[in-house]
Amino acid sequence: MSGESVDDCAPQQLTFPVLTATVLHHISVLQTTHLADGGARLPEKPGGLEISFDVYQADAVATFRKNNPGKPYARMCISGFDEPVPDLCTLKRLSYQSGDVPLIFALVDHGDLSFYSFRDFTLPRDLGH
């Protein structure tokens, strides 16, 4: 399309096949992002939510050494029900700190535990219409 947007082209100018995916890319409202993107630049908030501990699988106990524990199965953040919900900046920073290890949030409410995690996903595009 040589720098022209789809809106700038009159119908008679579109003599070449235009891929639907290309048009969707140009008119898309939402851009692809990942939770950890930009996490390295985000400042830590004093008293904010932090990674509380690493979780290791029980079947890996034979190879576990305190001075060289290996890669954790997950990283856990613990928060009370009465504490404020973490903002996007905090979620991005913690996700970046966790790296490729899944990050799990545990919410404690009067002895009841709820576990939450965030996963990257891609919204499907219906190109059939």
Q: What is the CATH number of the domain that holds 83?
A: 3.40.1350
Q: Is residue 6 part of a domain?
A: no
pLDDT reading at 49 higher than 80: yes
What Å distances lie between residue 32 and 54, 120, 121, CA to CA? 29, 10, 9
Q: Is residue 60 part of a domain?
A: yes
Print the domain residue range for 44. Answer: 39-117
Separation CA 91–CA 110 (nearest Å): 24
How many other C-beta atoms are found inside a 10 Å radius of the C-beta of residue 87?
12
What are phi and psi for residue 72, nearest 5 degrees? Answer: -70, 155
Q: Is residue 111 part of a domain?
A: yes
Q: Is residue 1 part of a domain?
A: no
State pLDDT tens for residues 99-113: 899 999 999 999 899
**Number of domains the chain is built from:** 1
Average pLDDT, the chain: 77
Q: Is residue 95 part of a domain?
A: yes
